[in-house]
Amino acid sequence: MEILLGSAQEVGLLVRAARKAERLRQDDAAGAIGVSDVFLWKLEKGAPGVRLEKLLQVFRALGIKLYAEVSDAAASEYRALTHPNPDKPRRRRRTKTDPLA
């Protein structure tokens, strides 16, 4: 099932729902995931400023998959960045010390 998330509070509610669906207490889940009780509590409350890497760690542990809906142009650019074409010559990046800049 897809759930559209538009705020930190909605992300927190989803994490809490996934944890409860696994019948895990907050402190037990935090220990199993490798985050602090306080972090998981703040996350579930929708506190701002959560580190993305820790959020993704919690998502992975609770079986939450994250997808991004993007334009075709953005998807094409993403594919080019993640799967560069070895036959295509790479452009040189100019720097301030580069005489061609």
35 band by pLDDT with thresholds 50, 70 and 90: very high
- For 12, counting Cβ atoms within 10 Å of its Cβ (0-12 exposed, 13-18 middle, 19+ buried), the class is buried
CATH number where 15 lies: 1.10.260.40
The boundaries of the domain holding residue 13 are 1-86
Residues 57/60/65/70 CA torsion (nearest 10 deg): 30
Residue 99 resides in a domain: no
Does residue 5 belong to any structural domain of this protein?
Answer: yes
H/E stretch holding 77 reads helix 72-82
Which pTM value belongs to this model?
Answer: 0.75
Give tens-digit pLDDT for 66-92: 998 999 999 999 999 998 877 766 666
Residue 100 lies in a domain: no
pLDDT of residue 99: 58
How would residue 101 be classed by pLDDT, with cut points 50, 70 and 90? low
Domain count for the chain, please give it: 1
